[in-house]
Amino acid sequence: MKRSLSDCRALVTGASGFVGAWLTQHLVDQGAEVTTILSEFNPRNQFAKLGLDKEIRCYYGSITDYNLIERAITDGKINTVFHLAAVSLQDLAYQIPWQTFETNVKGTYNLLEVCRVHQCQISKIIVASSDKVYGDSPILPYDENLPIQGRNPYDVSKSCSDLIAQSYRHSFNLPIAIGRFGNIYGGGDLNYRRLIPGTVQRLYAKLPPVIRIPSNGIYMRDFLYIQDLIAAYMAMYDYVDKEGEGDVFNFGTGTLWDIKKVIEIIQRATNLEHIEPLYEHQINSEILHQHLSPEKAKSILNWSAETSLEEGIRKTVEWYYDHWNSDPKNAVLGVV
């Protein structure tokens, strides 16, 4: 539904990422004035393809730079913050844990500290968290009352940033809502190391999809389509307010999927069911099963995922095929 966000002056960190570009486009379409902080400009990503750098105010530098964050917030008279900037890949976090902690932890407390100092102008803060904060909990599905207990580098970095956000809300009455999300997918995700885009890319090239197998079973995940995710961000935007109303919410479909089944759905969507997958043993194993309960978001925010996995994958496959057919060099394996 079309709505007016003409009174929203938003800082979106991580705007050039997969989710950030979708969220930024949505805010711009609704009339918001948007500012972002970019580490660099990548002409190949969705943010650039949409021309968003020409529609919003861009500052270039690190999300860990306190002075840069402060300048962006004061210059833009920011009243709303969407904090998405993060190192978001598990394998990358294993390779460069220090950078993961620097970005995900220092970036969060510097941003929230600027918001605390300029609290008089900030009315809404929405922080992106993750189902990884629950660690390898044997209790499924995860609900918001479970303890935060990440163990791997990425999981710990998100656990820390989540707790830091809770601390600023509790201690300084900042208007913060925290969204904990499962696996997000949809068109525009050019990180082909992720399951769905990587599988679609390999099938497009008529190569077998790769199923990563840990030593203790098969990965099972909850997959959330990008449009349902954007609706979740806007549900938190409508809920949080300057009087300190904020909370922590899980966002998922409530359904747990075996990744082999996910690949089968992708193969049906691409009409390439005859290609046999390859199995690859995983060295740095991730959490085996992760499943979020969306009941709190349903009851308080009146939010629920509306897109089935089959429908979401069909739309996602269509996006990638249109993207690659318009410029075949984009489909080369390894392009990110």
Question: Which one is catalytic: 109, 134, 142, 154?
Answer: 154
**Which has the closest alpha carbon to 317: 281, 273, 265?**
265
Q: Measure the CA–CA gap between 336 and 330, rounded to whole angstroms.
A: 9
Q: Measure the CA–CA gap between 207 and 274, rounded to whole angstroms.
A: 11
DSSP 3-state assignment of 177? strand
**Which has the closest alpha carbon to 17: 63, 72, 73?**
63
Q: In what order do the strands lie in the sheet with 176-181?
A: 57-60, 33-38, 9-13, 80-83, 124-130, 176-181, 248-251
Distance of CA 240 to the CA centre of its chain: 19
Instruction: State yes or no: is 154 an active-site residue.
Output: yes
Amino acid at 263: I
Neighbour count for residue 318 (Cβ, 10 Å): 12
Q: Measure the CA–CA gap between 333 and 310, rounded to whole angstroms.
A: 24
195-234 per-residue burial string, b: 16 or more CB within 10 A, e: under 16: bbbbbbbbbbeeeebebbbeeeeebbbbbbbbbbbbbbbb
Backbone phi, then psi, for 157, in 5-degree steps? Answer: -60, -40
DSSP 3-state assignment of 51? coil
Q: Which residues are catalytic?
A: 154
